[in-house]
Structure 1
Amino acid sequence: MNVDLIKIIAVGSGGFIGAVFRYLISLFALSQFPDTKFPVGTITANLLGCLIIGFLAGFFEIKSWGHPELRLFIFVGILGGFTTFSTFSHETFLLFENGKLLMSLANLGIQVVFGLIFVWLGYQAVRLFG
């Protein structure tokens, strides 16, 4: 296995940045809805991450923009650390496990359907304005 230290540093440092921003965004979202049992922090981070990845992927793919290490830093590192499928899955499971079937289905629908829509919107923004 050929390991490229620059790529590892790009992913690792980006992951640190993304995880810190996810924590801060989650805190902000939860401060806006302090009494909710709904996972608004994860939803906010995941949907914002979907919008950003769609927008940036548009620049990288449609506009042939960026360097491969920059792409790793942003997509795998920052956005990989910022969005979180495992937390989304766990929170959905806990809602279901605690008898909140409608909330678990709503969480599933919101994040999957709107996540795809937000990625599409990011791409469209690049096509329209880029």
Structure 2
Amino acid sequence: MLSIRDDTSLQRALQLPLPEPLRVLLQDRRAMLGYDHPFCDMAHFVVVQEGDTLAQVERETGLLIQLEMADPDYTPAWEWVIDHGQFYETVFILSDDGYGIALFVMKAGIDPVLQQLLENGLR
């Protein structure tokens, strides 16, 4: 799992062997935030990689993504889910000032519960 909380950690992540579409999207999403305020005041990007569990994602982000799945219509409180081919993207807006957590979830080796939630979010 890559936790990107500032421009320095973003630059380090961009040096890793990530799929090119993900590398471009990370740069695009950073640019969309603008440069008037520090990255850490606006967002936290998390790249969920093969073998990462939903519990680990919840610990890293502080989000409760999976509550009670007894309800088949349950959907986490994300804004939207996008399928980018090799990975999913989803965003949680946490405050009125727009601070959010963006998850970029690689499809290879995805946690099956997280995959089910993301696929349900596409509908």
TM-score computed with the length of structure 2 as normaliser: 0.28
Higher relative contact order (CA 8 A, sep 6+): 1
Q: TM-score, normalised by structure 1?
A: 0.27
Richer in helix (by share) = 1
Bigger strand fraction: 2
User: Which of the two has higher C-alpha Rg?
Assistant: 1
